[in-house]
C-alpha cells in the first residue's frame, strides 16, 4: 500500500511511484497509434471518415463510464472490506489479550503466542506463501494442525481447545469462556471473509465485457474525432484512454487486495502490529520492530 | 463460477469461455439486420430518415444506462449476498467444530456429520436437486426430518436437539449450550437468506420494462445514426447493443446465483470445503477430495 | 409478487401480466396527444417551434434520470428491506422451534401456536385487515391482547410471559430463557421494522417534485423534437415517457411493499410457510397447504 | 411528516400542501428575471450573446446533477437513519416491556414510566425544547438527573440502577439483568445516534460549494439558451431551476430530520406510541390518545 | 468542524468562512490564465483552434464527474464513519457508566477516570499529539501502559483488568463482568476503526489518476470552448474548474477526518463530552466546561 495521503501539485506533474501509468503503457501506445493512423487517413482520404461524428460515441462513452464506475465501486469495496476484516482481526486480538490479562502468565502466554501464529498463517495463506512455516514461527508444530485441510483454521481450533481446557480446569468460569470464544468466532469470521474475497473474483464475464467494450471504444474514438478535430484528435482520445484504462487497471489491482501489488493491503505490516500487541501482552519485552514503508510503499 | 481474476489482453481478443456473447447472439444479429436495413433505406430513400438525429437517442441511451446500472447493481448484490451467506456458513461450521473440539469423539462426531448433511441438503434444495438424498449421505434417515415440510431445517433441528441433550446430560454447561446454539442460529439465518434470494426474484415488471426499452432503443438507434454516419452506422449500433444486451444477460445470470450457469456460485465446491472441515474435526482422516475447476469453471 | 425470473424474448414482445403498462396508460396517451399536437403545429406554423432544440432537454432529461434513479433505489430498498424483515421472521420462528424442540410437547405447543398467531396478526396489521381475527385463528382470545393498543405486540408479550413462566418453573434454565428471548426480540424488531416502512412513506415532497418535473418534461419534449425530427418525433417522445412513467409507477408500487399490488410481497404465502414450520414443530401433522402462485402472481 | 403515499395526477397539478415550491419561490423568481433580461438582451443586441451555446452548460449541468444527487443521498440517508433509530427505540421499549411482564407490577411500573420519561426527554432534547419538563411528565424530579450534563442519559442511568437493584434483591437473576441491560444499551445507542445526526451537519463547505455552483449555473443558463431558443428559453431554464433548487431545499430539510419542518420526522407521534405501549404494559388503562395527522401533516 | 446547517442566500454570496475557495485559488488562477491565453490565441490565429469542439470534452467531463463522484462518496464515507465511531465511543462510555452506577464509588471511580484517559489518549493518538501526556491527565502513569507499543490500548487493558479484579473479588458477578466487557470490546473496536481510517488512505494511485485527469481536462477545456464561445469561454471554464477542484479539495479534507482542518471532526469537543459524562458518573461535580465553537468552527 502506498502511504501518501493526497497528491500535491508537484505529484500531479511528476510522480511515478504509485502511478498506474506504467501498467497501461501498452494499450495507451496502441491508442496513440490508432489516433495517428486516423489522422493520416483523415488527411489522405477525408471523405472516408467524413460522415463519422462524435455524438454516438458520447453515448457509448458515457454508458461505459457508468458501467465502469459500478465495477470500480465493486473492486474498491472488496479492497476496503479486506482492510476492515484485518482491522477486526486487530481488534479481536487486542480484546483477547485484554480478556486474558488477569490469567497467570503460564496460562495466557501459550494462547497469545498461538494466536500470533494464526495471524501469520492467515497472511501467508492469503499470499500463497508457506502457511505452515509462518505458523511455526510462533506455535509448536503439532500433528493436529500441520495435517489439517486448513492449517490456519486448525491452529485457531487449538486456541479454542486451550480456552476450553482452562474452563474445564476452573481457571476461568463458563461466562469468561464464552467471552473469549466470542473473539475466536470473530477471528474465524475474519478468516472466512478473507478467503471469500480471495476465492471469489469479480465475475470474469463482467470484466471481459467491460474490457472489450472499453478497448473497442478507445480504438474507434480517434476515427470519430478526426473529421471534426483533425490534428487535435489524439489529445482527447489519449485523455479518455488514460482515464478508462487507468481505472480499469486500478480496479484489477484493488479487486484482489491480498497480493503484493503497490496498492494491495500491507498484510506484513498488519501481522507485525498484531504480533507486537500479542507478544507484549504475553510478557515479551523484546518485540519485533514495526515495519516501515519503503519508498512510500508499505508491504 | 469462472475462477479467473482479470482478463489479459489476449483474453480480450479471443476468450470465449466466460464470454456472455453466445447468449446474446440472437438479439445482436437482429440489431445487425436492423442496421443493414437502415443503411439500405438510407441509400434508397435518404429523405425518409433525413430528419432523424442522434441527439434524442443520446438522451434515451443515457437514461437507460442509468437505470440498467441500477438493475445491475441489484443483481450483483444478490450474487454477492449469496456468496456472503455461504461464507458465513463456512465460518459457522468451523466455529461449531472448534467449540465441540474438547467433547468426547462419540458425542461430537454425530453432530458434526449431521451438520455436513445440513450443508449438502441446503445446496441440493437451492439447486432443486434431491434434498433428502443429499442429506442422507451424511445423516441417518429419520422419520422426523424426511417427512418435514423443510427437511434441511428439520435436520438442523435434530442437531439442536443433540446439543440440548448434551446439556441436559451435563456433558456441556448451559453457557456452552448457548455458544453452540449461536452457531446454529447463524446457520438457520444462512438458510433463510438463501431461500429468500431464491424465492424472491428481481421484480419482474422491472426487468420487463428495462428489457423492452433496451430492445426498442437498440432497434431504433441504427435508423437514427444512418443519416449522419451512413455506412458507419452499424459499428456504434453494434457496440451499444453488445454492451446493453451483455450487461442485461449477465444481470439475469447473477440475479439467481444458486443455479448452474457459468457465473453462478460454486455450491458443490463450497459444500465440499465444509464437509472436509467438519469430517476432519469429527476424526475422519480420509476426506473427500477438493473439487477443482474444470476448464476455469468451478461448479 | 410475480414469480418469474427473467423475461424471455417472447415476454418482451407480448407479456401483459406483470407489465406496468396498464397503469401508466393515461399519461402515455396524454404524451401521445401532445406529440401529435406538436407535429401538427410543426406542420402548420414551422417558425413557431423552429428555435426549439433538443439539447437543453437532454440536460433536463439526464438530470431527471439521475434523480429518478435515486428515488427508484430508495423505493426498491424499501421493498427489499420488507422482504428481508420477513425472512428474519422466518429464521427466528425456525430457531425458536429448534430451541424448544426438547421441551415437553404440552409446554412447547402453546408457545409455537401463539407465535403462529403473532405472524398472522402482523400480516393482517400490515395489510389493514382484521388483526384480532387473524391472531385468533391460532391463539385463544385473551383480554390482555385483544384490548391492547397493539394486539400483535401484546401476543408476542404473551409468548414472552410463557417463556418466563417456564424459567420460573425451572423447566428451562436462565440461559435457555435468554436464548429464547433473543428470538422474541428479533421478532419484535421485525414488527417494528415493518411498521416503520408502512408508516413512513418516501417524503411526499420528493415524489411530488419528481412527478411534476417528469410530467412537464415529457409534455415539453415533443415540441422540442418536432423542428428536427418532424413526423419521427413521437417515437422517442413515447419511448422516454414509457421509461420515465413506468419507473415512477413501479417505484410507487415497490415503496409500499405490504399491499396487494402485483409486485408487492407475498405476505399470505410467507405467513403460511411460518405456520407450517411452527405447527409441524408443535406436533401437528395435518398442515395447511402451501400457497401456490395464481397465474404467476403469489399473494 | 406528510402522510401521503403517492401523489395522484390531481396532486401533480394542484397540490400545494407538501410542495417545496413556496420555499424556493425567491430564487425561482430571480431566475425568471434573469431569463427575461437574457431574452431582452437577445432581442436588443443579438451579437452579444450569439457565440454562447448550450453545449458547455450541458456538461456543467450534468456534473452538477451528479454531485447534487450525491448530496441528496446523504441528506436522505440522515433522515432515514433518524427514522430507523426511533424505530429501534420503539422496538427496545416493547422488548423491555415484554421482558418485565412477569415482574410484580410494583417493581415493573416505575421502570416503565421512567422509560417513558426518557423517550419524552430525548424528543425534547432533539427539538431543543424543555428537556427536564418533558421527562418530569413521567418521572419524579430527582437531583441526580436534573443536574446532570445530559438529563436524558441520566434518566436512563436511573432505570439501569433500578434493574441492578432488582438483581441485587434477587427479584431477577443475573441473566435476566443482562437481557434487560441489552435493551438499555440499545436505547443509549439510539440517543447517541440521534445526537450524532443533530450535532454533525452535512459538511458546510460541501453545501456551500454546491449552492454556489447551482446558483451560478441557473443564472447563466438562460443567457446560453437565448441565442438558440429565443423566447422559448425561459421554459427549460425555469424547469431546471425548479428541479435543482427544489432538490436542494428538500435536502436541507431532510438533513436535519428532528426539527418541525413539514418533512421532518413525527417525533411527537412516535413518543406517544411508545408512551402508550409502556403505560399499557405498566398497567395503566387510560392511555393518552394517538396523535393524528393534521391536514396530512403528522408532527 | 463547521457548525452551520444550511447556507443562506447571503452565505452563498459572501461567506468565506467554510469556503473551500482559498485552498483552490492557485489552480483556479492557472485555469483563468489558460482561458485568457486561449482567448488571445483564438483572436490572433482563429484557424489554429477552429477545429476544436466542445463535444468530446463533454464526454471527458462527464466521465470525470462520474469518477469524481465515486471518490467523493468514498471520502465522505470515511468522514462519516469516523463520526459514527466516535458516536459509538460516546454510547459505550455512557453505557459503561450506567452499568457501574450501583458499584461503590471507590470501585467505580478509578475505572471511569481511566476510561476518560483512554478517550483523551485516543484523540491525541489520532491527531499525532502527545498520547501519554493526554492519558496522564486522568490516569496515573503506570509502567505497564507508558511502555506499551500502543499506550491507549494498554490503558483499556488496565480498565479490563480492573473489571476482572472486581469479578474475582465477587464485587460483580460473572454476567455483570461480561456485560462490562462488551462495552470495552466496543471501545477497542472504535479504536481499531479509527486507526484503520487513519492508517489506510484512499488508494494514492486513484487520487493521482483523478487529479491528473482533472487538471488536464480543466486546462484543455478553455481551448475547446474558445472557437465557439469566444470571449465567453472563461465563464464556463472557471465554473467547471471551481466545481471540480473544489470537490477534489473537499474530498481530500474529508478523507482524513481526524486532523485539524476546518471540516475535520471536532475530536476535542467530543472528548470533552465523554469526559464530562464519565467524571459526572464518577461523582465529580466540577466538570470541565463544554467546548464551544469559535467563529462557527468546532475543534
Closest Cα partner for A218 from B83, E59, E254?
E59
| pLDDT tens track for D265-282 | 999 999 999 999 999 999
Flag whether D6 is in a domain. Answer: no
Is C6 touching B (CB cutoff 8 A)? Answer: yes
Distances from the Cα of B27 to the Cαs of A205, B13, E32, E136, in angstroms?
Answer: 18, 22, 50, 72
Contact C280 B148 (CB under 8 A): yes
- Amino acid A142: pLDDT: 78
Q: Is the pLDDT of residue C232 over 90?
A: no
Contact A18 E156 (CB under 8 A): no
Of B70, B161, B193, the CB nearest to C73: B70
Q: Are D166 and D172 in contact (CB under 8 A)?
A: yes
Q: Are E66 and A72 in contact (CB under 8 A)?
A: no
pLDDT band (50, 70, 90) for residue D5: low
- Amino acid A92: pLDDT: 96
Calculate how close chain A gets to B229, using CA atoms only, in Å: 5
Which chain E residues contact residue A232 at CB under 8 A? 51-52
Flag whether B221 is in a domain. Answer: no
Subunits with 3+ Cβ pairs within 8 Å of B are: A, C
Q: b/e map of B86-109 (b: 16 or more CB within 10 Å)?
A: bbbbbbbbbbbbbbbbbbeeeebb
Distance of alpha carbon B77 from alpha carbon B161, whole angstroms: 35
Searching chain B, which residue's CA lies closest to the CA of residue A155?
Answer: B98
Searching chain B, which residue's CA lies closest to the CA of residue C83?
Answer: B196
- Amino acid E14: pLDDT: 74
- Amino acid E194: pLDDT: 96
What's the number of domains chain B is made of? 1
Q: Are E228 and E54 in contact (CB under 8 A)?
A: yes
Q: Is the pLDDT of residue E160 over 70?
A: yes
Which chain C residues contact residue D242 at CB under 8 A? 209, 212-213
Residues of C (35-54) whose Cβ lies below 8 Å from B = 54
**Chain B interface disruption, residue of A122, A203, A218, most B CBs within 10 A:** A203
Q: Is the pLDDT of residue C236 over 80?
A: yes
Distances from the Cα of C163 to the Cαs of C100, C156, D262, in angstroms?
Answer: 10, 11, 44
Closest Cα partner for E90 from E269, E295, E293, E291?
E269
Contact A231 E70 (CB under 8 A): no
**Chain E interface disruption, residue of A6, A178, A264, most E CBs within 10 A:** A6
What would the mean pLDDT of E194-202 be, rounded to a whole number? 93
pLDDT band (50, 70, 90) for residue E140: confident
Contact C4 B200 (CB under 8 A): no
Burial class (CB in 10 A: 0-12, 13-18, 19+), B236: buried
Closest Cα partner for E256 from E185, E207, E187?
E207
Contact E205 A262 (CB under 8 A): yes
Flag whether B1 is in a domain. Answer: no
| pLDDT tens track for C159-216 | 999 999 999 899 999 899 999 999 999 999 999 999 999 999 999 888 899 999 999 9
Q: b/e map of D256-283 (b: 16 or more CB within 10 Å)?
A: bbbeebbbbbbbebbbbbbbbbbbbbbe
Q: Which residue has the higher pLDDT, E55 or D168?
A: D168
Which chain B residues contact residue C254 at CB under 8 A? 203
Of C66, C157, C181, the CB nearest to D66: C66
What would the mean pLDDT of D34-51 be, rounded to a whole number? 88
As a dihedral over the C-alpha atoms of residue B286, residue B290, residue B294, residue B298, rounded to 10 degrees, the angle is 140
Backbone angles phi, psi at D283, to 5 degrees: 100, -5
End-to-end Cα, chain A, rounded Å: 6
Q: Which residue has the cell 424543555?
A: D130
Flag whether B94 is in a domain. Answer: yes
- Amino acid B5: pLDDT: 67
Searching chain E, which residue's CA lies closest to the CA of residue D212?
Answer: E12
Flag whether B280 is in a domain. Answer: yes
What would the mean pLDDT of E50-78 be, rounded to a whole number? 87
Is C239 touching B (CB cutoff 8 A)? Answer: yes
Contact C101 B157 (CB under 8 A): yes
Q: Which domain holds residue C140?
A: 85-201+266-299
Contact C193 D244 (CB under 8 A): no
> In chain A, where does DSSP find H-type helix?
9-14, 25-44, 46-49, 54-99, 105-126, 131-136, 143-146, 151-168, 174-199, 204-229, 234-255, 267-281
Give the mean pLDDT of chain E: 90
Q: Is the pLDDT of residue C15 over 80?
A: no
Residues of B (89-128) whose Cβ lies below 8 Å from C = none
**Chain B interface disruption, residue of A170, A192, A198, most B CBs within 10 A:** A192
**Chain A interface disruption, residue of E185, E210, E215, E252, most A CBs within 10 A:** E185
pLDDT beneath 70, residues of chain B: 5
Residues β-bridged to residue C2 = C297
| pLDDT tens track for C101-143 | 889 889 999 999 999 999 999 999 999 999 999 999 988 887 7
Closest Cα partner for E68 from C227, B181, A247, A8?
A247
Flag whether D84 is in a domain. Answer: yes
Flag whether A6 is in a domain. Answer: no
Q: b/e map of B183-197 (b: 16 or more CB within 10 Å)?
A: bbbbbbbbbbbbbbb
Residues β-bridged to residue A297 = A2, A294
pLDDT beneath 70, residues of chain A: 5
Calculate how close chain C gets to B152, using CA atoms only, in Å: 11
Flag whether E212 is in a domain. Answer: no
Give the mean pLDDT of chain D: 90
| pLDDT tens track for A147-182 | 788 999 999 999 999 999 999 899 999 999 999 999
Contact B263 A205 (CB under 8 A): yes
Q: Are D125 and D131 in contact (CB under 8 A)?
A: yes
Q: Is the pLDDT of residue C58 over 90?
A: no
Contact C18 B204 (CB under 8 A): yes
Contact B195 C79 (CB under 8 A): no
**Chain B interface disruption, residue of A52, A148, A197, A209, most B CBs within 10 A:** A209
Question: What DSSP string runs through C73-133?
Answer: HHHHHHHHHHHHHHHHHHHHHHHHHHHTTTS-HHHHHHHHHHHHHHHHHHHHHHTTS-HHH
How many residue pairs bridge chain B and chain C with CB atoms within 8 Å of each other?
Answer: 193
End-to-end Cα, chain D, rounded Å: 6
Distance of alpha carbon E116 from alpha carbon E136, whole angstroms: 10
Contact B263 A204 (CB under 8 A): yes
Searching chain B, which residue's CA lies closest to the CA of residue A255?
Answer: B5
| pLDDT tens track for D204-246 | 888 899 999 999 999 999 998 998 888 888 999 999 999 999 9
Is A25 touching B (CB cutoff 8 A)? Answer: no
pLDDT band (50, 70, 90) for residue C299: confident
Of D88, D101, D263, the CB nearest to C203: D263
Searching chain D, which residue's CA lies closest to the CA of residue E81?
Answer: D196
Contact B205 C95 (CB under 8 A): no
Searching chain E, which residue's CA lies closest to the CA of residue A89?
Answer: E192
Contact C4 B204 (CB under 8 A): yes
Is B56 touching C (CB cutoff 8 A)? Answer: yes
pLDDT band (50, 70, 90) for residue E5: low
pLDDT band (50, 70, 90) for residue E70: very high
Subunits with 3+ Cβ pairs within 8 Å of E are: A, D
Residues of A (135-164) whose Cβ lies below 8 Å from E = none
**Chain D interface disruption, residue of C61, C63, C76, C227, most D CBs within 10 A:** C63
In this structure, what C-alpha cell is assigned to residue C109? 405447543
Amino acid at each position: 500500500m502506498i502511504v501518501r495521503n493526497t497528491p500535491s501539485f508537484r505529484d500531479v506533474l511528476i510522480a511515478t511511484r504509485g502511478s498506474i501509468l506504467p501498467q497501461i503503457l501498452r494499450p495507451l501506445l496502441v491508442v496513440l497509434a490508432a489516433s495517428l493512423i486516423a489522422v493520416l487517413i483523415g488527411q489522405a482520404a477525408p471523405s472516408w471518415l467524413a460522415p463519422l461524428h462524435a455524438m454516438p460515441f458520447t453515448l457509448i462513452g458515457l454508458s461505459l463510464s457508468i458501467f465502469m464506475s459500478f465495477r470500480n465501486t465493486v473492486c474498491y469495496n472488496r479492497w476496503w472490506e479486506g482492510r476492515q476484516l484485518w482491522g477486526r482481526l486487530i481488534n479481536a486480538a487486542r480484546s483477547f489479550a485484554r480478556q486474558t490479562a488477569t490469567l497467570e502468565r503460564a496460562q495466557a502466554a501459550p494462547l497469545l503466542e498461538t494466536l500470533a501464529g494464526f495471524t501469520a498463517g492467515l497472511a501467508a495463506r492469503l499470499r500463497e506463501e508457506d502457511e505452515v512455516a509462518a505458523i511455526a514461527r510462533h506455535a509448536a508444530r503439532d500433528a493436529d494442525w500441520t495435517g489439517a485441510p486448513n492449517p490456519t483454521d486448525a491452529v485457531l481450533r487449538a486456541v479454542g481447545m486451550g480456552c476450553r481446557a482452562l474452563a474445564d480446569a476452573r481457571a476461568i468460569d463458563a461466562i469468561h469462556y464464552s467471552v473469549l470464544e466470542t473473539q475466536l468466532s470473530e477471528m474465524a469470521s475474519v478468516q472466512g471473509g478473507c478467503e471469500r474475497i480471495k476465492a471469489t473474483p469479480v465475475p470474469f464475464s463482467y470484466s471481459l465485457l467491460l474490457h472489450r467494450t472499453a478497448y473497442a471504444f478507445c480504438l474507434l474514438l480517434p476515427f470519430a474525432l478526426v473529421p471534426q478535430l483533425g490534428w487535435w484528435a489524439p489529445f482527447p482520445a489519449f485523455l479518455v484512454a488514460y482515464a478508462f484504462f487507468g481505472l480499469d487497471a486500478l480496479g484489477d489491482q484493488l479487486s484482489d487486495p491480498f497480493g503484493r501489488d503497490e496498492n494491495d493491503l500491507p498484510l506484513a505490516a498488519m501481522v507485525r502490529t498484531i504480533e507486537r500487541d500479542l507478544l507484549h501482552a504475553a510478557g515479551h519485552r523484546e518485540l519485533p520492530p514495526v515495519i516501515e514503508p519503503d519508498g512510500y510503499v508499505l508491504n
